[in-house]
Structure 1
Amino acid sequence: MAMAKHDDEFLEFASARTSHLFRTAYLMSGDWHQAEDLVQETLGKVFAVWGRKRRIENPDAYAQTVLTRTFISAKRKRSSREMPSSQIPEREFHEADATLRMTLLAGLAELPAKDRAVLVLRFWEDRSVEEVAHIMGASSGAVRTRTNRALAKLRGTLGDRLPDLALI
């Protein structure tokens, strides 16, 4: 009886959070399939500790932390550099939005994993410096420094393309 309740609670949590975790994973990885794998691995790790949920104050934040750390860890492995497809599945967007989106995704793809993770968490997830520091296991100062350096790299990568795209 207790096990069924445990499973039902986890299924409810996973159903509610999967799409949000997927969006974050996709922005970090830039690859649809890798994002799916990251979400699946994250949910597997969260499920493994779900029975001890009482010790987890905020399951949403815990899942976000697991996702981010799993992404960074996967990027350290040589095998993670393998890309099964060079094309992102087509979706319906306005032309200006699609061009801007693809330019930003290409710029993010050129950044190291930790830089991408910081920018996605800070600006896509709209998390505070302290939250990002906690998720990444770093100090607030390190997150600020990494954010500034990552933004400078992204601006350097995008060059003059971004202002033109923003006006379209």
Structure 2
Amino acid sequence: MFPARCPTGALSALLLLTLSGCSSWGCADTTAKRGEAGVSVRVENTYGQRSGVTAEVVDWRLRPHPQAPSEGDRVHFTYRFDGAGEHSGPAVDACAVDAKRVALGCLTVHASGARHLPDGALGGDDWLTVERPERVAGVLLIPNDRSYEPRGCAQDVKDGGGTHPPAPAGPGDRL
């Protein structure tokens, strides 16, 4: 175990560090499973529990971005969050997909960046850039809340760890 010449003070210090949580033995990071994408989704936390918030793609269309019309068509979509808080609401990934539900381009939309709608929901719009806009068959949302990323073991061995959102979706991912 320890050499015979190991000072008892060093052994005590090692034991103290281990018991105080300064050891990486107790820190574990896990990743949540990606939820089922849809036009309308119930937002869920990293443990798969529903938050009481619904996110929905209201409309989408292909058109040139007004600030870069020479770059061709992009995917312009509108979305809404029902049940979300104005300042600390969830965030979900939005992805333009082809007919086989393969992601062509994705980004994260935040309820906190949306505006108040007359019915009390929060809504907004955004743009997705995709390589081949003619392949876009729809825009889907992924229900995993991306508004909070807890510290991992690599950043904080003592207090980090836990369940993290799945990796963001990207081009080529099947949703």
Question: Which gives a bigger RCO, structure 1 or 2 (Cα 8 Å, sep 6+)?
Answer: 2
Structure with the higher fraction of residues in strand conformation: 2
Q: Which has the higher helix share?
A: 1
TM-score range, shorter chain: under 0.3
- Structure number with larger C-alpha Rg: 2
TM-score, L = length of structure 2: 0.21
